[in-house]
Amino acid sequence: MDEIPTKGTNEYQQYVIQLAKGPTLYEGVVNEPRLYYDRLLVPQNTTIEVNGTPDAIYNRELFPVRLTHMTAGVSFTPLSEFAVLPSLIQTVGLQLRYHDQFYMNAIPIPIPAWSNKVVAAPDVNSLAMSTWDFVASGSRPPVLAKQDTFQVDVACTDDPVFSTVDPTHPLDVTVTFTGFGLMSKRPYLFSGTLHLTSQNTRKSISASNFRNDGNEPIIITDMTVLVGPQVIDDQPPVFLQGDIRRVALNVRQVGSGTGSWWFSGPQNTSLCPAQLLGITTGRVVVHQFPGVGQLFGPADGMTVMMQMLHALDPQSDQLTPIDIGFVGYIMVT
């Protein structure tokens, strides 16, 4: 990966412009972020190997995707006696298989040992947010052309039985994109907030929040998702701190670009756990693949395998749900 100039400097802007404009203008290539995700349920009472959903980590498009990072974290579990500690990820091993090759080792490696990137924000924010810096993470920044916008769909993924979300106690989700104008270099910030009032109902943040109403293309450099704290009782007020794991989302560009959803996973899901977007800042284990990452051609895929490295309570039938994501960008020629 090239040395990236300091953010905010002229050198940075020139670098990003080349990154965004170069392939499009000179090679006819459109770049867009991509993320493949899956959720594995790992039994706690045995060391049995659990494979991911078939074809979840799979390139269904007609163009190659370069994967640069992997992210993983324990999914949100109900606030009950069935809650799974996020730190339980320390006991889960992971292995990737691709055309009969193993990564990183033939023996599963604990997921925390994959972590080779520090992503913690200040304590007050880190658990509630995910930030993806497209430039710093080696992806290619998307370009929001004139009159383009983003469609951003979100949902609260709480277990309905235990959910605290209802019309009187909404959950606030904010999605923000930042970037700068291709011509003017002036900064742009698009942000939209949605009050989620029921669990598992997919809603769109108003596209007017993200529309490029200006007169120049905008290079998008960062994306942030924030889940705010929730008031769950009124008298006296009781707050739950924000937890990014409670929300899933998907994004696509409307106008130019591919028009495809950026995130894809198992066939029965359409929204990606928001914690997996925390490649730059967040709460997940982030593994940066060596070198320039791996090129996935059309119809290429890989198998994810996880297992508990030692069984916990043999009497328990509890599962450890782990979200895993593979992050990169597509190159549409």
Partner 1 sequence: MEGILYEPRSLWSIANVVVPAQQSTPLRTTLNRQHFTNRTRWPMTLKRVALTAVNYTFNSLRNPFEVGGNPAFMYQAAAVVQMISLSISAPQRYNLNAKSVINAATCAPRPTWDPPKPSVLFGFEFAPVLAALTNTSQLMFDHPLYIPRTAAVEWQLSALSPVVLHEGSEGPDEAFQAPNTTDAAEVTMLYQESGGMFFGSARQHRYNPQPWVPPGGVALSPAASTEERWPFPPDLISGLDPFVALPGISDWWDPKGLFSAKSFKNQNSTRDGATKITDMRVAIDQTAYDLQVAIAFQNAYPLLPDVGQVAPLSTRLGTRVRSVDCGSGAWWWRPGAPLALVFDTKTPALVYDLPEAITLEPGDTLDVEMTMPPNPIQGEGGLALTYHIGVSFNGYSPIEG
**Interface ranges with partner 1 (CB under 8 A):** 79-81, 83, 85-91, 96, 98-99, 101-105, 107, 109-113, 115-116, 118-121, 123, 126-127, 240-241, 243, 282-283, 285, 289-291, 293-294, 309-310
Q: In the bound complex, what is the minimum distance in angstroms from residue 242's beta carbon to partner 1?
A: 10
Placement of tokens 């999914």 in the chain: 75
- What's the Cα-to-Cα distance from 98 to each of 4, 95, 223, rounded to whole Å? 31, 10, 30
Q: Please state the closest distance from residue 73 (CB atom) to partner 1, in A.
A: 9
Q: Residue 146 half-sphere exposure, CB side, CA atoms within 13 Å? A: 4
Show the tokens assigned to 126.
């880190």
Compare residues 123 and 213 and give the one whose CB is closer to partner 1.
Answer: 123
* Of residues 258 and 275, the one with the C-beta less far from partner 1: 275
Least distance from partner 1 to the Cβ atom of residue 171, Å: 15
CB nearer to partner 1: pick between 28 and 122: 122
Residue closer to partner 1, measured from CB, 284 or 331: 284
Looking only at the bridges linking them, the beta strands covering 129-133 and 203-205 are unpaired
| Minimum CB distance to partner 1 smaller for 104 or for 254 | 104
CB of 83 to partner 1, least distance (A): 5
Q: What is the dihedral of CA 209, 212, 215, 216, to 10 degrees?
A: 140
Minimum distance, C-beta of residue 116 to partner 1, in the bound complex (Å):
6
Least distance CB 87 / partner 1 (angstroms):
5
- The amino acid occupying position 214 is G
Q: Cβ of residue 147: shortest distance to partner 1, in angstroms?
A: 38
In 3-state terms, what secondary structure has residue 93?
A: strand
Is residue 195 within 8 A of residue 161, CB to CB? The reply is no
Q: CB-wise, 48 or 120, nearer to partner 1?
A: 120
Phi and psi at residue 253, in whole multiples of 5°? -90, 135
- Contact of 242 with 226, CB cutoff 8 Å: yes
CA distances from 144 to 183, 246, 256 (A): 13, 28, 8
Q: Which is nearer to partner 1, 43 or 255 (CB)?
A: 43
Residues 6 or more apart in contact with residue 168 via CB below 8 angstroms? none
Q: CA–CA distance from 212 to each of 64, 135, 256 (Å)? A: 28, 20, 12
Instruction: Pick the closer one to partner 1 by CB: 95 or 221.
Output: 95
Question: What is the SS3 string spanning 128-161?
Answer: CEEEEECCCCCCCCCEECCCCEEEEEEEECCCCC
Of the pair 109, 254, the CB lying nearest partner 1 is at 109
Helices (H), the chain: 10-26, 123-126
Task: Give the SS3 label for residue 195.
Answer: strand
**Can you tell me the distance from the alpha carbon of 178 to that of 76, in angstroms, rounded to the nearest whole number?**
28
Q: Rounded to the nearest whole angstrom, what is the least distance from the CB of residue 28 to partner 1 in the complex?
A: 29
Sequence-distant (6+) residues with CB within 8 A of 296 are: 59, 64, 65, 66, 67, 328
Q: Shortest distance, CB of residue 150 to partner 1, whole angstroms?
A: 27
